[in-house]
Amino acid sequence: MRVEIPDLLGVQKTPYLEFLQKDIPPERRKKSGLEELFQRVFPVESEDGLLSLEYVHYILEDPVESVEECIERRTTYESRLKVKFRLIVKEQDKQTKELRVKSIKEQEIYIGSIPLMTDNGSFIINGIERAIVNQLERCPGVYFSREEDIGLQGPVYSAKIYPARGMWIELHIDNHNLLIMNLGRHKVLLSTFFRALGYDDEKILRMFYDDPSKIKTDALIPTTIARDETKTRDEALKKIYSELRPGYPPIIKEAENYFYSLLFTEEVYDLSEAGRDRINKKLGLNFTERCLREEDIIETTRYLLNLVEKGVGEIDDIDHLGNKRVRVSAEIIGEYVYEGLIRLARFAKEKMVMVDKRKEGNIKPQDMINGRVFMSVVNDFFARNQLSQFLDKINPLAEITHKRRVVAVVREKKRAGFEVRDVHYTHFGRLCPIETPEGANIGLINSLTVYSQIDSLGFVKTPYFKVENGRVTNHIEYLSADKEDECVIAPPDTPIDPKTKLIIPRELTVRTKGGNFEEVPREKIDYIGISPVQILSVSASLIPFLEHDDSNRALMGSNMQRQAVPLIRSESPLVKTGMEKYVIRDSGVVVKAKADGIVSYVDGEKIVVKK
């Protein structure tokens, strides 16, 4: 039951193809990637509403030069981006003051070029081959933590809500037994926040306690309400507004708009799809909006109260791979393209103010757009960003490893503790426990394992065979670290009867939730690993008899294989592991036949294969 090794560069190539949607006609494109970015930024309207610039569709042309020509001429391998814009000019009716459309003009405008990925998963920028490395970051969502505080009455619990874009929110209990809410760096009492949402005291108490008459005197919510100086919704809104924007006059309408736009609109606050998914799972909700909802804050508070007052609920492990997601190269590039489009839209808006509305006959979309503002952001990313790296081309293995690298996002290297760098039990089959640099970056730079895949939300998954009643089926499922915690999984080297596919031992030692080991009868097993190579990266899987090595020496071995200088005439190794052909297959350094057949002719210039 061997499972074929997947394309080792798929992690780079597939997301970028889906991001560009280059060869898909505009009307059939999905609303994702570049298409979604355009739809998010446009239309742009002028202040008076007389001019409106709308996006119609984009076209990516085929590159003018081939990869080889770009390297030779020191140019960038890129595709020209042409966008069709529609400019709508309106005029105001003198009697009714209504706006009516006066003219509509469409025009296709060249706004710049977007670098294309080569078949080997790299980019050619000014004739130099570069790779964009993937990032491992904390997934947006809600996290509950416990700190063992010395001197106080016990552990201190807190809840944090991290968005992909927007203000951080933290709920914690201070020394006076009050529930404090941190909005960014500003503190308000939680009851003030609920009052600003329009809840009165009784409603707040009823939300969190079944019977308000039986509440203990030292309960958190009543203590917080008693300490709260604000009594009405307007007072609460003014208090929050003056806290967030000191020095501004607290006008109630302005305060209300600011408060709602800050957390409850998708323009300012974005949880991202993965973040919304995490919040739904953790709090048992079922929403699709990417901004916050009142229910999110209410349920987070309830969960925190259960932790503090009843000891019910689980705290989150920040190093668990279910709480981390990989930002693939396409997503990182997309962020900079978005930044460029925002600048383009801002330029168009400024230009609309300058345009003479009376001469609308000769206003064209071209006058509103300046491609240079867009291009400077994109070019700057590829040329100067620390994630866009000079491709490590010592040998084919070094190239593949570079493209499959995952870098942990750490604010400061010196402060990254032992926990962030350590091997976590969820790394099994997802990130290699062996291959990482020695020195300051140890554990912060990792490598994806051979079989792992990254799903649409950015979570790393690994494949398992489904097991039913102790028999291994041929059905393969990719599990994320979250899902894996709920299942009982047998190791890949468990002996299996080749004929009946029955697991031979009646009792097995398996890993269960939290990385603990337990003895379990074979009937209770849900999944089994697909191959012993599953836990290793490409580099480590090339070491023969790896299981006999000390892990520190294996680490050095897998790193030093990438530093070997290739031979002019390559030879097959004397002792193989069987992974060599896959490295060469996907490295892009060998000529591959398009289809199988008989080699009928070979010389120094061509090879002919007959089907």
The arithmetic mean of pLDDT across residues 275-294, rounded, is 90
Q: Is 210's pLDDT higher than 80? A: no
The predicted-structure confidence for 20-36, as pLDDT tens digits, reads as follows: 999 899 889 998 889 99
When pLDDT is averaged across residues 421-444 and rounded to a whole number, the result is 93
For position 151, what pLDDT does the model report? 58
Residues 262/254, Cβ–Cβ less than 8 Å? no
pLDDT of residue 359: 65
Look at residue 546 in the predicted model and tell me its pLDDT: 93
Residue given tokens 């240079």 in the structure block: 372
Over residues 458-477, the mean pLDDT reads 93
- Quote the CA–CA distance of 583 and 575 in Å, as a whole number: 16
Q: State the pLDDT confidence band at 356, using cuts at 50, 70 and 90.
A: low
Q: Does residue 246 have a cis peptide bond before it, meaning omega lies within 30 degrees of 0?
A: no
Domain ranges of the chain: 9-132+336-377, 141-310
Q: What pLDDT does residue 13 have?
A: 94
For residue 49, the model assigns a pLDDT of: 80
Which CATH number applies to 141-310: 3.40.190.10, 3.40.30.10, 3.10.20.30, 3.90.1110.10?
3.90.1110.10
Distances (CA, A) of 226 to 175, 178, 308: 16, 10, 19
Cβ–Cβ under 8 Å, residues 117 and 123: yes
pLDDT for the residue numbered 480 = 93
Q: Which of 596, 590, 588 is nearest to 131 (CA)?
A: 588
Q: Is the pLDDT of residue 366 over 90?
A: no
pLDDT at 249: 83
Secondary-structure class of domain 9-132+336-377 per CATH: alpha beta
For CA atoms 46, 47, 49, 55, give the dihedral sign.
positive
Q: Where does the pLDDT of residue 70 fall: very low under 50, low under 70, confident under 90, or very high at 90 and above?
A: very high
Portion of the chain with pLDDT greater than 90, in percent:
55
Q: What is the pLDDT of residues 395-421, one digit of tens each?
A: 999 999 999 999 998 776 667 788 889
Residue 388 has pLDDT above 90, yes or no: yes
Summarised one tens digit per residue, pLDDT across range 328-344 is 999 999 999 999 999 99
Q: Is the pLDDT of residue 247 over 70?
A: yes
- Give residue 492's pLDDT band: very low, low, confident or very high (50, 70, 90): very high
CA diameter of the chain? 93
Asked if pLDDT for residue 269 goes beyond 80, the answer is yes
**Whether pLDDT at 447 is above 90:** yes
Q: Structure pTM?
A: 0.90
330-334, Cβ contacts within 8 angstroms, sequence gap of 24 or more? 330/15, 330/16, 330/18, 330/19, 330/33, 331/15, 331/19, 331/458, 332/132, 332/134, 332/135, 332/387, 333/16, 333/19, 333/132, 333/381, 334/19, 334/33, 334/34, 334/37
Percent of the chain with pLDDT over 70: 97
Per-residue pLDDT at 150 exceeds 70: no
Burial 495-512 (b: 16+ CB within 10 A, else e): ebeeeebebeeeebebbe
pLDDT score of 554 more than 90: yes
pLDDT at 152: 59
* pLDDT reported for residue 579: 92
Q: What pLDDT shows up at residue 229?
A: 83
Lowest mean pLDDT among 108-117, 242-251, 378-387: 242-251
Query: What's the mean pLDDT in 55-84?
Result: 94
